[in-house]
Amino acid sequence: MSKKVISISQHPNFGPKKPRSRQRLFDLGRHEYMGAPGCSWMTNYWVKKVDKGRYWELYSSEETALRQKIYCGTFEPDALRDYFDDVCFWIDEDFLLSIGLGRRTAVSFPRGESLEDEFDI
């Protein structure tokens, strides 16, 4: 029985990450809305990073001109993610993390405890 063992430093999930690009405007693609039978429309979404990702500008298009950007407002990251959830526009979480719009979690411990205490590190 032979097993191939690799160093954790060579694993793609644990190696050094590429720096984020300086790109600020991202095309999120088209989205089709359906109301009742025969009542549907399509739009295209873009987001623009403002103030190093502290705020995001949302742009959408009209159905007649899917390449024309129309300003829809400035949002904080969580509010923008909530908007996309409300309109059922699903975006891949890895893509959102790559552009800096991913959700981050905060881990807190009761006073006097730490991660080392929990796992005997």
Taking only the tens place, the pLDDT of each residue in 91-104 is 888 888 888 887 66
Residue 105 lies in a domain: no
Residue with tokens 């001109």: 65
Residue 20 lies in a domain: no
Residue 38 lies in a domain: yes
Q: State the Cα angle at 86 between 42 and 47, rounded to 5°.
A: 65
Q: 24: Cβ–Cβ under 8 A, 6 or more apart, which residues?
A: 48, 49, 50
Q: Is 10 helix (H, G, I), strand (E, B) or coil?
A: helix
Q: State the Cα angle at 83 between 90 and 86, rounded to 5°.
A: 65
- Residue 62's domain spans which residues? 25-99
Residue 118 lies in a domain: no
- Whole-Å CA distances, 68 to 42, 60, 104: 13, 8, 32
Overall domain count for the chain: 1
Percent of the chain with pLDDT strictly greater than 70: 73
Name the DSSP letter for residue 103: -
8 Å CB contact between 41 and 30: no
Residue 84 lies in a domain: yes
User: Is residue 57's pLDDT more than 90?
Assistant: yes
